[in-house]
Structure 1
Amino acid sequence: MKRTIKITLWILLCIILFAGATTGIFFYKIKNGFPVSYETEKPAINFPPDQSAVLIFSKTTGFRHAESIEASLPVFSQIARKNNWFIYQTEEGGIFNPEQLKRFKVVIFNNSTGRVLNDEQQKVLSQYVESGGTLLGIHGAGDDSHHWPWYQTHLLGTKFSHHPLNPQFQKADVHVEVDSDSSLTRKLPAVWTNQDEWYVFLSQPKGMQILSYINGDKIIPNGNLLWIRDKDFGMGQYHPVAWYRNVGKGKTFYTSMGHGKEVWQNENFVQMIENAMIWSE
């Protein structure tokens, strides 16, 4: 009997330790991404001479929004056909070389998380933007796993804190700022509804022009979980969810919306993304 009890206790201890280690690894991956090797080989690309080129980059080393990424790709292809753009979709970082990157009118970090580029590739991307290119970031591209000061300053202008957990997904009215660039507000209603995982940032985006916002007082922003007890706060009534700015001769655009596959069926969200792609020209 005593032996049975002892064996049972050991099994329970092992389960607890395993669960703790798994949880710890999960949270580390979310915050930092896992170390990876960086692709450096230039891909073979035939750029059509009569079409603007769009780069969709969906590489992840942190949390992977797999359903959103998968759902987005046919939507991007549809937008490209509609506007006669050449679209190149990849998760290989070798595309971030000066010769090829300058061929693209816009680079989209499509829920890219973690450290996805090496130091040289980061330098190439920052120079691309400052020389006249455009960088767009969607949802996970704004979490706290990238650890790249230029990126945080020029794409985000703030620092990610958390997202709600109970409930994780909530409906909210998305308000469009009336003084935003008209090319970004094209065909968008003044107010539209979206259900999403609403990111909470530690401050208002600095140096950014806000495109859209929600009333943060109308969502439950609590992100406390297990031992995490300091995430029961939001951004207040004015809670930005999409913004943009000029960077040197180029531009950046970011939206914290885009967690799940459903958002790619929301015609207003898709219109906003298409507007941002057109705005990059």
Structure 2
Amino acid sequence: MIKKIYPLLLVALSAVSSHAQQFKALLFTKTAGFHHTSIHEGVDGVRNLAARHNFTVDWQEDPSVFNEQRLKAFDVVIFLNTTGDILNAEQQTAFEKYIQSGKGWVGIHAAADTEYDWAWYTKLVGMMFYTHPAQQTAYLDVVNSNFPGLERFPKRMLWTDEWYEYQKPYKSDDLKFLITLDEKTYNPKTSKGNGMGDVHPIAWYHPYDGGRAFYTGLGHIGMVYSDQSFLDHLYGGIFWAATGKGVK
């Protein structure tokens, strides 16, 4: 009898092992300001990445998940087009401790339009949203391809999105720019700004307060969440933020 059970046990253990997940991500999409209709496409996109790359994703809009005990279950927190004041003081403290414990954060597009009065979060993001012109097509330039997800991203690429101009100043010695925007290829002028000049970052990463932070300004238009170049770029950021791996 034991001889019959043993092979079955091995098969069961093999099945569990084959379905083990690399890491666990919290996908947070709460908005207290502008609500992007692309959030649902974004959720689908991240879920597809999880299925493709063997990680777990838990989608939440309830900020009560930001407590010390519940956050311990996650390796990375993803802010997908969040806006406004979305966490109270207790939840902010729990998230700070989470990053300080060595975990990661990923911000997509309007994550830079979130929690302006929280100085720690501003430093986590790196640069906060200031203004944007109408959606336009422009050229992106990869300035650092030594980062996961950018191996197949063209050095220069035509892209259509909503181009954020970010607030200044920023800590250029801290942020490691990955992709910049060529302002000569579109009209950056708005009633509030004239663009950022010769260096207009649109994606970056940096170690922060014991943990890791990755941000991409791409991701306003829903269709980008089915674009393979963007998905490679996004997963690279998620992978690095969750594991700390991938940078040579």
Provide the TM-score with structure 1 as the length reference: 0.74
For 1:204 and 1:272, locate their aligned partners in 2 and report how far apart those are by CA, in whole Å.
26
Q: Which structure 1 segments of 5+ residues have no match?
A: 1-48, 225-230
Distance 1:74 1:109, change over 3 A: same
What do the CA deviations read for 1:164-216 (whole angstroms, capped 9, x no partner)?
A: 1xxx11111211123x5432423322222221110001336412000100112
Q: Judge which range, 255-264 or 104-113, deviates more.
A: 255-264
> Which of 227, 232, 249 is the aligned partner of 2:210?
249
Query: Number of matched residues?
Result: 221
For 2:82 and 2:138, locate their aligned partners in 1 and report how far apart those are by CA, in whole Å.
24
Query: Match for residue 45 of structure 1?
Result: none
> Which of 144, 168, 171 is the aligned partner of 2:137?
171
Q: How does 1:195-234 map to 2 (within 5 A)?
A: 195-203=160-168, 205-206=170-171, 207-224=174-191, 231-234=192-195
CA contact (8 A) 2:30 2:86 kept: yes
> Which of 162, 174, 185 is the aligned partner of 2:131?
162
Q: Judge which range, 241-250 or 106-115, deviates more.
A: 241-250
Q: In structure 1, the residue corresponding to 2:75 is in which secondary structure?
A: strand
Instruction: Indicate whether 1:150 and 2:120 are aligned.
Output: yes
Query: Match for residue 53 of structure 1?
Result: 24
Query: Match for residue 265 of structure 1?
Result: 226
CA contact (8 A) 1:209 1:245 kept: yes
Query: What's the % identity of the aligned pairs?
Result: 33
CA contact (8 A) 1:194 1:263 kept: no
Q: In structure 1, the residue corresponding to 2:197 is in which secondary structure?
A: coil
Q: Which amino acid aligns with 2:26?
A: L
For 1:145 and 1:199, locate their aligned partners in 2 and report how far apart those are by CA, in whole Å.
16
CA contact (8 A) 2:148 2:233 kept: no
Query: Match for residue 277 of structure 1?
Result: 238
1:223, distance to aligned residue in structure 2 (A): 2.0
Distance 1:106 1:215, change over 3 A: same
Instruction: State the superposition RMSD in angstroms.
Output: 1.7
1:145, distance to aligned residue in structure 2 (A): 5.3
CA contact (8 A) 2:103 2:211 kept: yes
Q: Which structure 2 segments of 5+ residues have no match?
A: 1-18, 244-248
